Amino acid sequence: MNLKMKNNKNIVVTGAAGFIGSALVIKLLHRGENVIGIDNLNNYYDPNLKKARLEQIKKKAFGSKGKWHFYNFSIENNKKLNEISELYAPKIVINLAAQAGVRNSIENPKDYINSNLVGFGNILEFCRHNNVQNFIYASSSSVYGGNKKIPFKESDSVDHPISLYAASKKANEVMAHSYSHLYQIPSTGLRFFTVYGPWGRPDMAPMIFANSILRKQAINVFNNGDMYRDFTFIDDIVNAIEACCFKPAQKDEKFDFLQPNISTSFAPHMIFNVGSDNPISLLGFIDKLEENLGVKAIKKFLPMQPGDVQKTWADIESINSWIKYRPRVNFDEGIAMFADWYKLYYQDSFQ
């Protein structure tokens, strides 16, 4: 079948084997969209988990109307991106591929330069050449850096990143803005706040802690537990991306040139927080995890880590007024779903 002929149904999702990407792909396939997934299955964390997510896509989307195509390559690879343009001429692009992780960016900065800057630049060119009508990309709550004003609002200054990861995400926002302005590509940057849930990321606290708790090993509790995160359940994130996918960013006709902020623009470029507006304390989070895993944690209290932020808290008014976003899964339900999945998926490791 010549998929180019049906190009209005072709959506490219990069980072498709990732935590957020794989959940999004399942949702889009169920809507009947044709999804072209790209992922390099790198070994930043266990590639078997990425492969298992790809299997999960096939299983969960079995019988759905949408067509699923997967390509294993890096977004730094322009030649391969050109082949995707030739084959599918997509009109919607969702860029989730990135080198994630705040702490790792201190040890391996090159990975962030390559994926998040060179790769992201290639994706912008890909959007330009395909005359893309809606571009969505992952930013992060980490752009708020050392901000002390809470909750974090999109109009707050994000000019003081405290890690290269955060700097790369802020760079993505301004890079996307320039393309949106120059080539009129409607673009939406979503600042995700600590996403958790089934099929999560092994480098993030829920999985690191669950693993150590079940092995009866000590967990590192940074800043002596005085930390807060605005945890956001995976389904809420996916719902927000899906809604933005079918509502391209618009120009702000009332853009204030004398008091500009990055969240809206004279170009069709918008930025939104996607969080829960409900910061959970680190110790409260550990309590809930212990309860759901049925094992007490051994806590090792440590000072704050470089690059880390003490508290995140999302103001979600803006995304609520744009797509009526409201988090639907509360923390107690979300942690229970995460713990159930974790125990099942890793059951053989703990016998």
Ligand X SMILES: NC(=O)c1ccc[n+]([C@@H]2O[C@H](COP(=O)([O-])OP(=O)(O)OC[C@H]3O[C@@H](n4cnc5c(N)ncnc54)[C@H](O)[C@@H]3O)[C@@H](O)[C@H]2O)c1
Q: How far is the CB of 4 from ligand X (least distance, A)?
A: 23
Query: Is 165 one of the annotated active-site residues of the chain?
Result: yes
Binding mask 9-28 for ligand X (x = CB under 6 A): -----xx-xxxxx-------
Between 113 and 295, name the residue whose CB sits nearer to ligand X: 113
> Does 228 help bind ligand X (rule: CB under 6 A)?
no
CA gap 18, 54 in Å, rounded:
9
Q: Is residue 201 at the binding interface for ligand X, with CB under 6 A as the rule? A: yes
- 108-144: string of b/e by CB count within 10 Å (b at 16+)? ebebbebbbbebbbbbbebbeebebebbbbbbbbbbb
Considering only residues 102-141, where is the footprint of ligand X by CB under 6 A?
A: 115, 119, 138, 140
> Is the CB of residue 231 less than 8 Å from the CB of residue 311?
no
- Candidates 29, 36, 100, 339; binder of ligand X (CB under 6 A) is 100
Size of the site for ligand X (CB under 6 A): 29
Catalytic residue among 165, 196, 228, 325: 165
CB of 258 to ligand X, least distance (A): 32
CB of 298 to ligand X, least distance (A): 25
Binding to ligand X in span 66-85, by CB under 6 A? 74-76
Restricted to residues 37-56, the positions that interact with ligand X (CB under 6 A) are 38-42, 50
Dihedrals phi, psi of 139, to nearest 5 degrees: -105, -160
Binding positions for ligand X, 165-194, rule CB under 6 A: 192, 194
Cis (ω within 30 of 0) for the bond into 151?
Answer: yes
Minimum CB distance to ligand X smaller for 9 or for 201: 201
Q: Which residues does residue 13 pair with via DSSP β-bridges, in sequence order?
A: 37, 94
DSSP 114-171: IIIIIIHHHHHHHHHHTT-SEEEEEEEGGGGTT--SSSB-TTS-----SSHHHHHHHH
Residue 97 interacts with ligand X (CB under 6 A): yes or no: yes
DSSP string, 22-86: HHHHHHHHHTT-EEEEE----TTS-HHHHHHHHHHHHHHTTT-SS-EEEE---TT-HHHHHHHHH
Q: Which is nearer to ligand X, 295 or 346 (CB)?
A: 346
Q: Tell me how far, at minimum, the Cβ of 63 lies from ligand X, in Å.
A: 25
* Residues 239, 246: Cα–Cα separation, whole Å: 11
Indicate which single residue of 57, 81, 92, 96 sits in contact with ligand X (rule: CB under 6 A): 96
Sign, CA torsion 173/176/181/182: positive
Residues near ligand X, by CB under 6 A = 14-15, 17-21, 38-42, 50, 74-76, 96-100, 115, 119, 138, 140, 192, 194-195, 201
Name the residues annotated as catalytic.
165
